[in-house]
Amino acid sequence: MHTRPMPSGRHHFIDVTLKHLPLERYVDPVRALDDMSTGLSQPLVEVIDESTAEGCVVRVSLFSDAEVPPRDEVAAIAGTAAELRLFDTSR
């Protein structure tokens, strides 16, 4: 888990290498904003690099005020990363 300071808090993230691009439902910013407006908070998934020899690199992250990510945020990021890896290997 990496953490970097941001102007309005902290950015907690991990980078995950996948063989295929993630499904659209993970990387669609409009869907993420809609989920946030209904109270659902889940990690953000961004495609960082599509040109690696292994496939692509995605960043799974959350933004918070905490300097050290709380356990629930760590679990949410790790769970989303695991879900991405599972879908990646099943394609």
- pLDDT band of 49, cuts 50, 70, 90: very high
What's the predicted TM-score (pTM) here? 0.84
What is the Cα–Cα distance from 22 to 4, expressed in whole angstroms?
Answer: 24
User: What average pLDDT does range 39-46 have in this prediction?
Assistant: 77
Supply the pLDDT for residue 29: 74
Q: Domains in the chain and their CATH numbers? A: 2-89 (3.30.70)
Closest listed residue to residue 13, CA positions, set 59, 68, 81, 80: 59
Q: What is the pLDDT of residue 91?
A: 77
